[in-house]
Structure 1
Amino acid sequence: MASLEVENGGDFKVPVFSSSSELLESLHEKWSSVKKQPYPAMYSSVYGGVILDPAMMVIPMDDHMVHRGHGVFDTAIILDGHLYELDVHLDRFLRSASKARVASPFPKSILRSILIQMTAASKCEKGSIRYWLSAGPGNFLLSPAGCPASAFYAIVIDDDFSQHKEGVKVVTSTIPMKSPLFATMKNVNYLPNVLSVMEAEDQGAFSSIWIDEEGYIAEGPNMNVAFISQDQELILPCFDKILSGCTALRLLQLAHKLVEQGRLKSIMTGNLIVEEAKNAAEMMYVGSTLPILPIVTWDEQPVGDGKVGELTKALSDLLWDDMVAGPVTLRIPVPYGK
């Protein structure tokens, strides 16, 4: 391995890798210090297969998703060796791709098969998978016309998540949220989301709440938000200007059990102004990896009595039970060892 030294650069020398073997040796040295591999498998249509070597889990710099943000993504949970709501997420994934004008290199059935086989190869039984469709590599121009083919990438994330029993603090975000066109597709342009979370962390909060330009409650940076009113109504903001969360939609279905039990009065989606939302008895985030995260403080004010509400706990149990032992149509067994 050679090195370059530029005049006035002091003692700093840039390594120059003259062969792939030298580069791989350096990358393997980096990963050898990691106690637990967080990404046990990746798929790349550029490579044409599943990768188990973390040193090779990379995508091309000239991929249009990297330098222009021209791509979409989605996710699914792995729990007890099953993929939860994979088909629902894949349907949304392809809707997002259509809006972003990214053609899939494979039909849905093949995408599904790739994700199941990748998860099986990973041996991971608890965590998540995340997958992307990109306009593909080709050049660094603005238009994707010079990209020969779109690309599909996916990765397994080993993560020991569990139900959230404790509540968190949130703040109202001052970062402008995305326009409805971009907010309703799950695209990779997440800089507003990143800045919104960083703003919350600067204030000692877990995350934030977006308010749309009309003054209605919208969503969190990467999760939906739900409320229990003082009259025991479950209310979620309308999905016309925000991402329709797969977990949020499933929650709306499962919550009918609490209505049948007389614990919830009703279930609805609608426009909520800030004053109405802050008067709620309970508040929660809803998202795939949560699935419910109670919110007990908003802008330094307690939500309800400032404690995790009983209906929030009940909704969390409903979703968790669905993930663990729900319908076979929602829980796809992963064929490990086959």
Structure 2
Amino acid sequence: MKFKIITKDNFFRDWKSQDRPWQEDYLAMYSSLWPGITTDPDLMMVPIDDHLVHRGDGVFDVMRCVSGKIYQMEGHLERLNRSARAISLGFTPGREDIRAVIKRLVLVGGEKDCLIRVVISRGPGSFNANPYDCPSSQLYINVIRFRSLPDKYYKEGVSVVTSETPIKRSFFATIKSCNYLPNVLMKMEAIDAGAKYSLVLDKDGFLAEGSTENVGVVTEDGVLEFPGFERTLSGITAKRVFELADELVKKKKVNRVKHARITLEEAYRAKEVFLTGTSINILPVVSYDGRIIGHGAPGLVYSELASLLRKDMTGNQEILTEIDW
């Protein structure tokens, strides 16, 4: 095997000669290491000795900018803060500073519909597991062009399978950490099974969550149920859908809304099953482990909730953060 010695002089020449089409949606990145902003994907790098890289030691969150306004920014920043506190990960700039960087970065990225990934890492230090080897934590923020799923997934629904990957223990399941190996394996399972998504069960055999999605179920008796957040990640979109669903109770479209322990058999027999998440909004499930859900098509509750969520994402000024375009 032939190789050459890479130096500062030849690194970027050779790096730029490589084709990396997946980077075409990378709009901008901020790194507290420099500190500064770049719009060149070739410069969007993290040091290999950052414990984020070789230990998964960091936390993150992802939010959406919709038509030029950031949706539920404060909810995402609060969850990021909770995750950081849970693993004793401090970061000197406060929320106001992070908020300012995000808004500036979106402007530099130049697109009004984008995803914003905020990462707080333990920082560079050593290749040991000892977090105290890292002098300071770091902040990395990426703005990525938003590409919605094809319309057919919303019109026709998607299939899911039950994952065999062991669920994270409650402490780790409730932290949005950068150690996502179980989630990656869940996604791999889904694709290998010919499905779009997979759902994992908790240690007691009840429905828990997807690899990056929360799940909701409309039971046979018309109750809208969500797994509790004691053993799963507290989804920002899921919590908002839960709140918006009160409108369906008032309209008698569902009997009530609650958190519940949902068995796999109950999910199979459900009138409707759907997924929620920052990048998917709300997505109907029509097949679960090969079993048809409901009538095999997106249901009424899904349609109503999807409409309510769309209006909320563009018209609810209380949870939309303005950007000075």
Q: TM-score, normalised by structure 1?
A: 0.92
Q: Is the 8 A contact 1:193 1:221 kept in 2?
A: yes
2:79 aligns with 92
User: Is 1:105–1:151's contact at 8 Å kept on the other side of the alignment?
Assistant: no
Superposition pairs of residues 77-156 of structure 1, within 5 angstroms: 77-156=64-143
Measured against aligned partners, the alpha-carbon deviations of 1:59-100 in whole angstroms (never above 9, x if no partner) come to 000001100111010010011111111110000001001112
The CA deviation at 1:125 is 1.0
Letter in 2 for 1:335: D
Amino acid aligned to 2:11: L
TM-aligned CA deviation for residue 215 of structure 1: 1.3
1:262 and 2:249 matched: no
- Higher deviation after alignment, 292-301 or 102-111: 102-111
Q: What is the aligned partner in structure 1 of residue 214 from structure 2?
A: 224
1:27 counterpart = 2:15: yes
Other structure's SS at 2:142 match: strand
Q: How big is the shift at 1:28?
A: 2.8
Deviation at 1:292, TM superposition (A): 0.4
Q: Does residue 6 of structure 2 align to residue 17 of structure 1?
A: yes
Residue identity matched to 1:269: H
Post-superposition shift, 1:36? 7.6
Q: Deviations over 1:22-41 (max 9, x none)?
A: 2122233336x749831110
Q: Separation in 2 of the partners of 1:176 and 1:214?
A: 12
- Whether the 8 Å contact between 2:23 and 2:41 is mirrored in structure 1 is no
Query: Which amino acid in 1 is paired with 2:295?
Result: D
User: How much has 1:111 moved relative to structure 2?
Assistant: 0.9
Q: Residue in 1 aligned with 2:31? A: 44
Out of 293-302 and 47-56, give the one that drifted further.
47-56
- Is 1:335 matched with 2:324? yes
Aligned residue number for residue 165 of structure 1 = 155
**2:293 paired residue number:** 303
Question: What is residue 207 of structure 1 aligned with on the other side?
Answer: 197
Q: Any runs of at least 4 consecutive aligned residues in structure 1 with deviations exceeding 4 A, and if so which? A: 33-36
1:109 CA drift (Å): 0.9
Whether 2:309 is the aligned partner of 1:322: answer: no
Give the structure 2 partner of residue 246 of structure 1. Answer: 236
Distance 2:194 2:68 in 1: 36
* Structure 2: runs of 5+ lacking an equivalent: none
Do the aligned partners of 1:105 and 1:152 also contact (CA within 8 Å) in 2? no
Q: Which amino acid in 2 is paired with 1:263?
A: K
Cα deviation for residue 321 of structure 1 reads 1.4
Pick from 59, 82, 92 the counterpart of residue 46 of structure 2: 59
Amino acid at match of 1:15: K
* Aligned counterparts of 1:166 and 1:136: Cα–Cα separation in 2: 44
Equivalent AA in structure 2 for residue 16 of structure 1: I
Give 3-state SS (helix, strand or coil) of 2:184's partner.
Answer: helix
Secondary structure at 2:178 match in 1: coil
Structure 1 distance, partners of 2:3, 2:73, is 44
Report the equivalent of 1:3.
none
SS at match of 1:275: helix
Q: Partner amino acid for 2:273?
A: M
Q: Higher mean Cα deviation, 33-42 or 162-171?
A: 33-42
TM-score (norm 2): 0.95
Deviations 1:205-259 (A, max 9, x none): 0111111111111111111000111222110011111111000110111111111
Larger Rg: 1
Would you say 1:196 and 2:180 are equivalent positions? no
Inter-partner Cα distance in structure 2 for 1:293 and 1:143: 41
Q: Select the structure that is richer in helix.
A: 2
Q: CA deviation at 1:318?
A: 0.9
Cα distance in 2 for partners of 1:290, 1:52 equals 26
**Contact 2:84/2:90 (<8 A) preserved:** yes
* Partner Cα separation in structure 2 for residue 43 and residue 104 of structure 1: 15
Local SS of the residue matching 1:25? helix
Say if 1:63 and 1:36 are closer, same or farther in 2 by CA, change over 3 A: closer
- Which residue identity lines up with residue 4 of structure 2 in the other structure? P
Instruction: Output the CA distance in 2 between the equivalents of 1:300 and 1:199.
Output: 14
Counterpart code for 2:43? M
